[in-house]
Amino acid sequence: MSKASVIRPGLLVSVKSTVTGGVSYQRIDLDTDKPAEEGQDVARWETRRVIEDKAEYDAATACRSKATALISRVCSSTAFGLLCPADQEGALDAAIRQARQMVDAHNDAATHTRVTVHALKGRVASDDAEAARAITAEIAELVVRMDAGVKEFDPKKIREAANRARELGNMLSDDKKAKVDAAIKQARAAATAIVRRIEQEGEDRNTVLLDIARGQIESARIAFLDMSNEPAEAVEPSPSIDRQRFADLDIEGGEQLEIPATCAPPTTPAIEIES
């Protein structure tokens, strides 16, 4: 089977964010006068943390979290990192711009702290066989979890796996996504039935399980296990990865997005901080 029919072209996104400054740590050694037994090396210490301005430090931490969340929410979280469909690249670039604006707003007003956020994206081609195997393997695992959640009468497990499968399904071709969507719909219906009929109405578990439809879940499980277990094909090294460091690239175009006021730290005298 051709891997080109399994996934859509997309982007593998790596995000790094930091908060520097505003906090210091001091190690204090304890019991230094107590001899250790022969052949041993025993040490005990405590750490003293000092935050120069707690309100500003908390604002910096919140700003970092919000900036990374802006980028993450337009992507699908997978075991291999963040994946974004190629047709959502405009939304991804807009999220990166907004994240950088939020960070700049904090740094312009901050005295003790500095926040940074950097994004790196690489392109995944639709005929990338290794990417297709990786994505289908994770989809297969999530479908197995949904099925296991039904058999264990665990609606939380079902819904968590279904939510992740729905996100990752955005990277699949239309026909493969339709198969995942059908399994997710059936799994969610099963979770609802478990909550209503077993947890609320107290029906017998085995009776409810017999009434729960699982055909679409089983079909998706078998299909994606088969796809993820296909042998690798010998292919020439692909030049499809095009990495782009947003820290060094000014993204032009697109609308200016509003910077949430909650990201800015408390008003303090601004001091120029070298990067």
How big is the CA angle at 235 (ends 230 and 240), to the nearest 5 degrees?
105
Which pLDDT does position 126 carry in this prediction?
75
- SS3 category, 234: coil
Which pLDDT does position 1 carry in this prediction?
40
Residue 59 belongs to what domain range? Answer: 6-25+47-127+238-270
84 or 236: which leads in pLDDT: 84
Which pLDDT does position 30 carry in this prediction?
81
Strand residues in the chain grouped as ranges (E): 10-20, 23-30, 44-51, 76-78, 81-85, 114-124, 244-245
Q: Which tokens sit at 59? A: 């604002």
Whether residue 189 lies inside any domain: the answer is yes
CA distance linking residue 169 with residue 10, whole number of Å = 12
Q: Which pLDDT tens digit goes with each residue over 210-240?
A: 999 999 999 998 888 877 666 544 334 444 4
- Please provide residue 203's backbone torsions phi and psi, each rounded to the nearest 5 degrees: -70, 160
The total number of structural domains that make up the chain: 2
pLDDT band at 274 (very low <50, low <70, confident <90, very high): very low
3-state SS string over 183-205? HHHHHHHHHHHHHHHHHHCCCCH
Q: Which pLDDT tens digit goes with each residue over 43-73?
A: 788 898 999 899 999 999 999 999 999 999 9
Neighbours of 142 (CB within 10 A): 28
Whether residue 30 lies inside any domain: the answer is no
Q: Read off the pLDDT of each residue in 97-116 and give the average, rounded to a whole number.
A: 95
Q: Read off the pLDDT of each residue in 152-165 and give the average, rounded to a whole number.
A: 94
Whether residue 218 lies inside any domain: the answer is yes
Which pLDDT does position 254 carry in this prediction?
42
Which pLDDT does position 43 carry in this prediction?
79
Task: Tell whether 62 and 139 lie within a shared domain.
Answer: no
Task: Tell whether 161 and 193 lie within a shared domain.
Answer: yes
CATH number of domain containing 154: 1.20.120
Task: Tell whether 13 and 121 lie within a shared domain.
Answer: yes
Task: Tell whether 219 and 185 lie within a shared domain.
Answer: yes
Task: Tell whether 215 and 184 lie within a shared domain.
Answer: yes
Task: Tell whether 99 and 205 lie within a shared domain.
Answer: no
CA distance linking residue 167 with residue 142, whole number of Å = 11
Q: Which tokens sit at 177? A: 């996504």
Task: Tell whether 19 and 116 lie within a shared domain.
Answer: yes
Task: Tell whether 150 and 199 lie within a shared domain.
Answer: yes
Contact call for residues 12 and 54 (beta carbons, < 8 A): no
Whether residue 40 lies inside any domain: the answer is no
Contact call for residues 43 and 29 (beta carbons, < 8 A): yes
- For residue 104, pLDDT over 60 is answered with yes
Whether residue 121 lies inside any domain: the answer is yes
Task: Tell whether 59 and 182 lie within a shared domain.
Answer: no
Q: Which tokens sit at 211? A: 């009434």
Task: Tell whether 15 and 66 lie within a shared domain.
Answer: yes
Whether residue 19 lies inside any domain: the answer is yes
Task: Tell whether 114 and 136 lie within a shared domain.
Answer: no
Residues 6+ apart with CB under 8 A from 228: 133, 136, 137, 139, 140
Q: Read off the pLDDT of each residue in 102-112 and give the average, rounded to a whole number.
A: 95
pTM of the model: 0.62
Q: Which tokens sit at 143? A: 């479908």
Whether residue 215 lies inside any domain: the answer is yes
Task: Tell whether 213 and 262 lie within a shared domain.
Answer: no
Whether residue 36 lies inside any domain: the answer is no
Q: Which tokens sit at 194? A: 């478990």
